[in-house]
Amino acid sequence: MVELAEKPHLLQPDPEKLNRWLQERGQPPFRARQVKKWLFEKRVTGFQEMTDLPRKLRDELADHFELWTTQVVRHQQASDGTEKLLLQLADGGRIECVLLRDGIRRSICISSQVGCAMGCVFCASGLDGVERNLTSGEILEQMLRLQHLLEPEERLSHIVMMGMGEPLANLNQVLDALDEASSSTGLGISARRITISTVGLPEAMDRLTRTVPRYHLAVSLHAPNDALRDQLVPINRRIGIQRVIAAADRYFDASGRRLTFEYVLLADINDRPEHAQQLASLLRGRPALLNVIPYNLVPGLPYRTPLTSAVQRFREILEQAGLVIKFRQRKGDQIAAACGQLRRITPASQKQ
Ligand code: SAH
């Protein structure tokens, strides 16, 4: 594990770390619960706010542990309630995370890596490859930083691992963080409301199937045949659509949770009627939801969002085939909410 801060990161999940430390100081075991309650439920930003702990203990905690390892470099707010943070990690790497407000939903979109190695041609996150995996503490820290943006009466309701990076390429750290997020002594968000989005890595999907088929799984398909998918999602050349779908089916068998397939519509590339027809035959009969995502323009990339008429045509073919589809609404356009973009347009020297 990468330990980046000089002091141990308190948010790095390790149930024994705090217990042991408290025990060495002769503190009762319930102190650990108190600390977690302050962090996850009462949303404090520092040890001094943990007012039911003895003052000396608060000082010692602050001397011994790092609570935050990231700095907020930018905080953007869109008029639709979407907020986005650009965070700088202790080693200078930068990641993005987003809070989305939709009715009573408060969803957060979390990054799993600095950059991404998958190389999807239309995506901003992978343009410079991957720098490193995030630690589970850094993944959890994004969640808490976004929770701090809520009003006191608002509660986080959903988590999507759809920020920068490929979560299944950093599965151990992602799962440790999600354990804490879904635990009743952590963020308490039900596993049913947590989505792991993957480019489709069959071995890692099978590991999820064997170990924790508790989360909602979304698979980024983006093309209905291998020739096109090989171009758009280069990792597909080593895998192939059939293996991805077979692994997704096994996950469904184990989890009983309806799968989601994601499909970013790119004008004149994967939005033609024959693509919709192929997609319909590929997914027919599966208890799956097809999530069609309008493309968020990425400066410097040649891809475009299809015209409404093309989207409509695409939709009708899928609906006629009886597929369950959702056309995702666009949110946070004004703040470059497609992950990986803010990082690219913010100069390295900029601080909040
Ligand atoms: N690596 C994971 C998580 C990535 S982000 C995965 O591939 O699923 C979540 C989704 O956003 C993916 O489906 C991804 O392909 C899509 N995406 C990436 N860039 C986009 C853009 N500019 N506009 C719309 N969707 C995009």
Q: How far apart are CA 116 and CA 127, in angstroms?
A: 8
222 assigned to some structural domain: yes
Instruction: For residue range 69-117, list pLDDT tens digits in order.
Output: 999 999 999 999 999 999 999 999 999 999 999 999 999 999 999 999 9
**Which pTM does this prediction carry?**
0.94
Residue 71 dihedral angles phi and psi, to the nearest 5°: -120, 145
271 assigned to some structural domain: yes
Q: Which of 9, 39, 64 is the last residue of a domain?
A: 64
Domain region containing 245: 71-350
Q: How far is the CA of 123 from the centre of ligand 1 (A)?
A: 6
Look at residue 198 and tell me whether its pLDDT is greater than 50.
yes
Same domain, 133 and 47: no
Q: Report whether 174 contacts 211 (CB < 8 A).
A: no
Q: How far is the CA of 95 from the centre of ligand 1 (A)?
A: 15
Q: What does the DSSP 8-state code read for residue 186? A: T
Same domain, 127 and 146: yes
Q: Report whether 290 contacts 261 (CB < 8 A).
A: yes
Q: Is 279 exposed, middle or buried (0-12, 13-18, 19+ CB in 10 A)?
A: buried
Q: Report the pLDDT value the prediction gives residue 114, as an integer from 0 to 100.
A: 98
Share of the chain above pLDDT 90, in %: 88
Same domain, 55 and 107: no
298 Cα nearest atom in ligand 1:
22
10 assigned to some structural domain: no
Is residue 109 annotated as a catalytic residue, yes or no? Answer: no
Alpha carbon distances (Å) from 132 to 2, 175, 339:
10, 17, 16
342 assigned to some structural domain: yes
Q: How far is the CA of 15 from the centre of ligand 1 (A)?
A: 33
Task: With cut-offs at 50, 70 and 90, classify the pLDDT of residue 14.
Answer: confident
Instruction: For residue range 281-328, list pLDDT tens digits in order.
Output: 999 989 899 999 989 999 999 999 999 999 999 999 999 999 999 987
297 Cα nearest atom in ligand 1:
22
Give strand ranges (E) for 103-243. Answer: 105-109, 113-115, 130-133, 158-161, 194-198, 216-220
Same domain, 185 and 320: yes
Element holding 280 (H helix, E strand): helix 273-283
Look at residue 141 and tell me whether its pLDDT is greater than 70.
yes
Same domain, 44 and 84: no
Count of structural domains within the chain: 2
User: Token pair for residue 176?
Assistant: 């440790």
Look at residue 337 and tell me whether its pLDDT is greater than 60.
no
For residue 40, give the CATH number of its domain.
1.10.150.530
Q: How far apart are CA 76 and CA 327, in angstroms?
A: 25
Task: With cut-offs at 50, 70 and 90, classify the pLDDT of residue 340.
Answer: low
11 assigned to some structural domain: no
Same domain, 199 and 255: yes
166 Cα nearest atom in ligand 1:
1
Active-site pick, 66, 83, 96, 131: 96
Average pLDDT rounded to a whole number, residues 173-179: 98
Same domain, 110 and 215: yes
For residue 188, give the CATH number of its domain.
3.20.20.70
Task: With cut-offs at 50, 70 and 90, classify the pLDDT of residue 1.
Answer: very low
What residues does ligand 1 touch, defined as CB less than 6 Å away? Answer: 118, 120, 122-123, 162, 166, 197-199, 220, 262, 264, 293, 295-296, 298, 338
Element holding 43 (H helix, E strand): none
303 Cα nearest atom in ligand 1:
22
Task: With cut-offs at 50, 70 and 90, classify the pLDDT of residue 149.
Answer: very high
Testing ligand 1's pocket by substitution, the residue of 110, 233, 262 carrying the most ligand atoms inside 8 A of its CB is 262
Same domain, 141 and 91: yes
9 assigned to some structural domain: no
Q: How far is the CA of 129 from the centre of ligand 1 (A)?
A: 15
Ligand 1 atom 14 nearest Cα: 220
Q: How far is the CA of 38 from the centre of ligand 1 (A)?
A: 34
Beta bridge partners of 196: 161, 217
Q: Report the pLDDT value the prediction gives residue 328, as an integer from 0 to 100.
A: 75
Is residue 96 annotated as a catalytic residue, yes or no? Answer: yes
2 assigned to some structural domain: no
6 assigned to some structural domain: no
Same domain, 45 and 78: no
Active-site pick, 97, 109, 120, 339: 339
Instruction: Give me the chain's average pLDDT, please.
Output: 93
Same domain, 137 and 32: no
Same domain, 103 and 242: yes
Same domain, 310 and 284: yes
DSSP string for residues in 222-252: --SSHHHHHHHSGGGGGT-HHHHHHHHHHHH
